[in-house]
Amino acid sequence: MSTPTAPHALTALEQAAAVRAGDISPVELVRHHLDRAEEFDARYGAFLTRTPEAALDAAATLEKAGRGTSPGALFGVPTAVKDLVETAGVVTTYGSKVFAGHVPDADAHSVRRLREAGTVSLGKTNTPEFGCCCYTDNDLAGPARSPWDPALSAGGSSGGAAVAVALGLVPVAHASDGGGSIRIPASVCGLFGLKPARGRVSSGPLGAEVNGLAVQGPLARSVRDAAALLDVLAGPEPGDPHWAAPLPPGETFLGHAGREPGRLRIGRYAVPAADGITVDPVCLAAWEHASRLLESLGHEVEDIPTPFGPEVGDQFVTAWGVQSLGRAVGPEQEASLRPVTRAWRAYGRQVSGERFAAAITGMHRATRRAVEATGAYDAVLTPALATLPRPVGHFDESGDPLVNLRRQSPFSAFTSPYNMTGQPAVSLPLYWTAEHGLPVGVQLAGRPADEATLIALSAQLEAAAPWRDRYAALF
């Protein structure tokens, strides 16, 4: 059987519905997406490793097991896992040639949850070395390129996942975000990206928690798909250092995507906390457009001062520099790392324990003040990025790494503070440039552990200003 629309043009939930209805089998669905990945991956850099044989075997197993069962919301749906996360029996490189032959013997909890939900991974998506950059490039697969203009970077560090979803190589993908790494490529690639609250998704058993900045979450072409994947990923595991408050019994994030959010109070600001960053006028236009759309839906939108002070920049850099040392590399292998990775690690080694403790303490104080300052609002609206997408060569690593790092700053100016607070935040593709038709995202940050309201509000915005037809140009 075949679906009336090309399978890759369907949302993840539509694909799963087609499997349940018998309109397409898991094997047919997986094979279709594998063929599409074969066609586009080399040009756009979505994957570091593709696993076609394992994917077809898993799909065949699902096909047999699905008979007579009640499969879940994403049963049979192809997906992919970011290559910062361990997958048993599959090369997991962390974006580094130092780990080119590394094959874990155990899954990350998130990977196990994806498999138990009946999704089928087609492989590991492209990421910068150790996920340390807001663009995606490495010495193994090269850069991930924007599907809208392959001369442009797809953003990072979940750039490969974003490319895979935007091009329909998979309908929804696993990603992670330590300073904007879901929201940045979502903005660049025209996707809905959701950074969950701290403690919502387990990073165990091997994920680092030294600063609490990073969390795993979904990249999708629709809010409902992202909510469904979050339902799969969400939930604490024994030993996790952070646990987000769960939804009430019987509720799901997908269920909230079908609820009206009611009239909400939205605060908005567009001045970055970090000094010296000028926001591109097009990013401001996208922010103004989203503000008007929110008002047209009956929400109260108010200007507020930037809730973060400039000190959070240094605190984040200190925390991130120490985090860069979390991946063990032998002294003889250090020279094989990329220049920016080496620069981060060299900086991290210079941070004393006293300085690191002061940075983490200061970060907690600053973020508590920010959460209190915005406590009267159901959500906060900002630009997603302070800059438009940049050419792949803009992030060249052959020169001074500090120049490279400064060039990254406008990409994370609005996103990284919400990794520090641990609040959930999303990027929505509500605006497109008039001249080149490039997506420009806006960010909504929610109350602590309140993804539910963000999802309901995002679904309302998607219904009011649908972006699905935009992908026709890529399909």
Q: Which residues are catalytic?
A: 82, 157, 181
Q: Which of 353, 295, 342, 344 has the alpha carbon at shortest distance from 321? A: 344
Helix (H, G, I), strand (E, B) or coil at 397: coil
Nearest-angstrom CA–CA distance, 132 and 80:
20
Nearest-angstrom CA–CA distance, 206 and 227:
25
Q: How many CB atoms lie within 10 A of CB 392?
A: 21
On the 0-12 / 13-18 / 19+ scale of CB atoms within 10 A, 52 is middle
Nearest-angstrom CA–CA distance, 423 and 438:
28
Question: Is the Cβ–Cβ distance between 244 and 196 less than 8 Å?
Answer: yes
For 336, the token pair is 């094989």
Q: How many CB atoms lie within 10 A of CB 157?
A: 33
What residues form DSSP beta bridges with 380?
267, 445
- Which parts of 221-326 are beta strand (E)? 265-268, 300-303
For 105, the token pair is 């013997």
Nearest-angstrom CA–CA distance, 83 and 90:
10
